[in-house]
Amino acid sequence: GFRIGILTNSWLDDSDGRLRTAALLERLRRRFHAVLESCRIGMSKPDPGIYSYALQVLQAEPEEV
């Protein structure tokens, strides 16, 4: 019954190693209900909005986490 997510504080990777990073994130996406990257949702930690967004995506209430 648990939903598990990863919340990253990251940036868009345009380096030579981006394929490795993309492969890692893809493996994580297969194992977690949500992989939330700050660069893709337009907010970063410690902005409270990013945590509200994560709760919404995971369909959770603050007191449940």
Q: How far is residue 58's CA from residue 61's CA, in Å, rounded to a whole number?
A: 9
Higher per-residue pLDDT: 6 or 13 = 6
Could you give the domains of the chain? 5-64 (3.40.50.1000)
State which amino acid sits at residue 57.
Answer: V
Q: Residue 65 has what pLDDT?
A: 87
Q: Residue 27 has what pLDDT?
A: 95
Residues forming beta bridges with residue 7, ordered by sequence position: 36
| Helix H or strand E encompassing 22 | helix 18-31
Number of DSSP helices (H) and strands (E) in the chain, helices first: 3, 2
Residue 13 has pLDDT above 80, yes or no: no
Q: How far is residue 41's CA from residue 15's CA, in Å, rounded to a whole number?
A: 20
Q: Residue 10 has what pLDDT?
A: 83
Q: For 16-59, how does the pLDDT look when each residue is reduced to its tens digit (9 = 90+)? A: 888 888 898 899 999 999 999 999 999 988 999 999 999 999 99
